[in-house]
Amino acid sequence: MKRTFLVLITATLLAGSAAMAQDYRRDAPPPYERTHAWVRGERVPVELRGRDHVVLDWRGHHLRRPPSGYVWVRDRDRFLLVGKRTGRIAELAEVR
């Protein structure tokens, strides 16, 4: 019983430390650069497709209605029409 418990504890600690080591790699690039120049067909990271970046007032920004399955997101001085499922950029527009 003690041996089984010890094996389980050891396995749990090793798995946890391996997962933490992957999260804190120093050589991992950031998800996207803040000065990134977006292009059509490029995939937008999940962070930029979050609630904070989605443009609900697309008319107020003189944007066309997003087609079904797409949403406008804003990154600094650009609006990106992004596929909800794929995250790919279908269209780019400048902020007015």
CATH number of residue 45's parent domain: 3.10.450.160
C-alpha 83/C-alpha 66 separation (Å) is: 10
Q: What's the confidence (pLDDT) of residue 14?
A: 66
What pLDDT shows up at residue 11? 66
**pLDDT tens digit sequence for 44-57:** 998 888 888 999 99
Are 80 and 61 within 8 A, CB to CB? no
> How many structural domains compose the chain?
1
Q: Which two tokens stand for residue 10?
A: 């050891």
Could you give the dihedral angle defined by the CA atoms of residues 17, 19, 22 and 23, in that order, rounded to the nearest 10 degrees? -100
In the structure encoding, which two tokens stand for residue 63, read together? 């944007």
Residues 4-46 pLDDT 10s: 766 667 767 666 655 555 444 455 455 556 667 899 999 999 8
Average of per-residue pLDDT across 56-67: 94
Residues in CB range of 87: below 8 A, 6 or more apart: 43, 44, 45, 46, 49
Pick 23 or 91 by higher pLDDT. Answer: 91
Over 60: is that where the pLDDT of 65 sits?
A: yes
C-alpha–C-alpha distance, residues 23 and 66, integer Å: 35
Tell me the pLDDT band of 76, cut-offs 50, 70 and 90: confident
Residue-number span of the structural domain to which 36 is assigned: 2-94
Beta carbons within 10 angstroms of residue 51's beta carbon = 6
